[in-house]
Structure 1
């Protein structure tokens, strides 16, 4: 399974990729937009910076930007930077690796896991940004009363 950090990392990098070229985005802006807790986001951003996927600029007007073009950053790079081990999927029954003969789902799950890993190796951040964005709600919709007055 993907770690929480990996999910946050993908979302943060996709956010940066969607910004205008040269625009720096602060951690608070990313946190608010993507609904990622700031302390967790700072740790994720630090790891992504250490692996040279993003750059940070300190001081007033500072922030983060991609270190590479979005089309050169593959999802597998983000997972590796954040320590998400491959294979992503383990045994659905919780059996340890090597128990293929015991697990009746092993061959099916392995095939699915291999396809998912191939997808992460092929899909770039640019691919994510080019997809139609999902409108995020900042608040829950108000409930309307169905009573007739």
Structure 2
């Protein structure tokens, strides 16, 4: 599974807004500078986030964008769904059938079952995780993930991150 650049950058923009004042208006150039993203890319992301109801635009001299709801009411699942969709869509097999109209394995497919289970696991944690939760330190986030049944994965990821940074 890969996060798309749009999902990653959109999440970063929202985290910037949550971290630097949920009700404060943030301009596109301000977000762009802080996150190291191009102005056109941030503008595109803000449009998607506005149309999806996650941010609101403010006009005028002090204009920009604000979060539409408090950070503890915006789930990571909602953000990723808006910016890129789910990991495994139930109609995946319809779009990846090969040369035939229907996949050769439609009747009995362990792969489809696996991807469905992975999606359910992702949904279970992402629907419980809010934008505010992502403002935690890595240590606090590990405790949060342990409390929500994702400890093994979180611990493995922490080891990977620390080995990369050291």
**TM-score w.r.t. structure 1 length?**
0.70
Question: Paired residue for 1:115?
Answer: 121
Q: How is 1:68-147 mapped onto 2 (pairs within 5 angstroms)?
A: 68-82=69-83, 84-86=84-86, 88-89=87-88, 96=97, 99=105, 107-131=113-137
Shift of 1:89: 4.8
Task: Supply the RMSD in Å over aligned alpha carbons.
Answer: 2.9
Q: Which moved more, 1:52-61 or 1:99-108?
A: 99-108
- Secondary structure at the residue paired with 1:60? coil
* Residue 131 of structure 1: how far off its partner (Å): 3.0
Measure how far apart 1:21 and its partner are: 4.8
Q: Normalising by structure 2, what TM-score? A: 0.63
Give the direction of change, closer, same or farther, for the CA distance of 1:25–1:79 in structure 2 (3 Å limit): same
Structure 1 gaps of 5+ residues are: 133-149
Query: Structure 1 pair 126/38, CA: closer, same or farther in 2 (3 Å)?
Result: same
- 35-44 vs 63-72, greater mean Cα deviation: 35-44
Higher relative contact order (CA 8 A, sep 6+): 1
Paired residue secondary structure (2:124): helix
User: Structure 2: any 5+ residue segments left out of the alignment?
Assistant: 139-166
Quote the offset at 1:71 in angstroms: 0.7
What residue in structure 1 maps to residue 147 of structure 2? Answer: none
Partner SS, residue 10 of structure 1: helix
